[in-house]
Every structure is written in C-alpha cells, then in structure tokens.
Structure 1
C-alpha cells in the first residue's frame, strides 16, 4: 500500500490505532527534528511491530528494525548521527500516533523504558551492557 505523509493510516485489525507519517520528521535539514531515512512502509511496519511485540507503555512505544541479525539505521539526528531506535507517541491520547527516530544520547525523553529494553535483551536484539548504556544515554555500537 502506498503511504503518504500527514494522512491518517488505519492499521486495523492488526493494530487498533491510527498512524500518521509526520512530514516534520521527513524533512532533511529541520534543525529541531530527527528525520527518518527509511521508507514510509518501513516506518509503518516498525510502528505496527511495536504493538505486536508490546513495546508500549501508556501513550509511548519504541521500535527497531532487525535486518540480517543487526539493528538497521532508521534515521539521523540534528548532527547527522545515525539512529537505530524509534519512538512513537500518542500525544493527545486519542489513539492517533506518530513517530520519529529516537536520539537517546541527546534527549532523555527518547530513552526507552527499562522493561522494553529488557524485552530487547531477552530477544537478543541488544546485550545487557548495551541496555545499561542506553538507559544512561551513553553512546554504544548498536
């Protein structure tokens, strides 16, 4: 399905929420926003997988993409550093979500919750040592 920016995407019955691909996280050069480097479809699939895997708490969710047993680069921060974790939010708590590449090293609010990090360790997506670095906002080789 071809997706477009800034339109609601109904993901039912797979996910009982709507998702918006936010154009503000697609514009290269926006000094205040992290930007996706993956396709619209990959972004939507990452969001859907966050729900399927229950990487959610309240109105926040986190995601990642595994490709050939490695975390895939999904976006860039303001300094053009590669990012491999995603954060999704339902800011108005109305079941309409949007997401962006999470810059856990520079933005404390982008650090995934500990219970989600532990799920990733259990699935061997990250190591316990990397989990501890992420929790503290320290750069690590994901």
Structure 2
C-alpha cells in the first residue's frame, strides 16, 4: 500500500483493535529544518510504530520504537546536525489515538528519552546492553 504524508492511516493491531497513524511531512526530507528527519521509508516507519503499539512500549500518549534487523539496531533518521539516530518517538498529541512519530534525539532533548520500563524491555530482548540503557537514561552518548 502506498502511503502519503499528512494523511490518516488506519492500522489493524489485532482483531477488532485499530489505531491511526499519520506520516508527518515535517519529519521528512523536505520538512522543517529544525526537526529530526526519518531516513527510512514510509513502510518501515509504519512498521516501527506498529511494533511500538503491539509491544506496548508506551507511556501515556508517548511511545518509543526501534528498527531491528537480525538483532542489530538500524539507523532510522538524523537530527538537524546530521547526527544519526536509532530510536523513534511516537506521540498521540490530542490523546485521541491519532499518532505521528519522529526519530528521537535523546542526547539533545531529555523528553525524547524512553522511560526505564521500555529500555529494560529492549535490554531483555537483546537489543541493547544494560550499560547502554543506563547511558541513554542519563542522556549520555553511546554506540547503539
């Protein structure tokens, strides 16, 4: 299915359970120069969000996700200084189950740091070490 930016996409999570996601043009190559930008394609962005919802890596109206291939974290985007990013953040801004997301810059923005229970889940699944989890929690650089 071809996706279009700034258009609501209904995603079926489980039988009779759906959610809505919008691919925001502000976080794409031609978007806002002060925002982080996805470098993965639309399908990978939607897949990352779907995994976040089904894995319940969500606190309130915020969620965090990863793109993992063969147990290796993949780059998903970059910040305005072209530093590569591997963690996604998803937001339900109006708390009406309509989400959008962007590559999270946990080093520069404390609000982009995933909560401890999400990081622990990633450690338990082998996506990162406990040492890296602790660095992310403190906003310190680490090689994910």
TM-score (normalised: structure 2) = 0.94
Measured in 2, the distance between the counterparts of 1:70 and 1:131 equals 15
Measured in 1, the distance between the counterparts of 2:118 and 2:13 equals 24
Q: Aligned pairs, how many?
A: 142
* Partner in structure 2 of residue 102 of structure 1: 104
* Partner in structure 2 of residue 128 of structure 1: 130
* Partner in structure 1 of residue 9 of structure 2: 9
Q: Deviations over 1:5-33 (max 9, x none)?
A: 00000002545210000000003573320
Output the aligned Cα RMSD: 1.2
Measured in 2, the distance between the counterparts of 1:28 and 1:103 equals 19
* Partner in structure 1 of residue 26 of structure 2: 24
* Partner in structure 2 of residue 85 of structure 1: 87
Contact 1:117/1:131 (8 A) holds in 2: yes
Structure with the higher fraction of residues in strand conformation: 2
Measured in 2, the distance between the counterparts of 1:122 and 1:83 equals 21
**Runs of 4+ deviating beyond 2 Å:** 12-16, 27-31
Local SS of the residue matching 2:12:
coil
Which of these residues, 44, 48, 69, is aligned with residue 46 of structure 2?
A: 44
Structure 1 residue ranges without an equivalent (≥5): none
Contact 1:28/1:35 (8 A) holds in 2: no
Measured in 2, the distance between the counterparts of 1:30 and 1:13 equals 30
Q: Residues 126 and 97 from structure 1, CA distance in 2 versus in 1: closer, same or farther, beyond 3 angstroms?
A: same
Structure 2 residue ranges without an equivalent (≥5): none
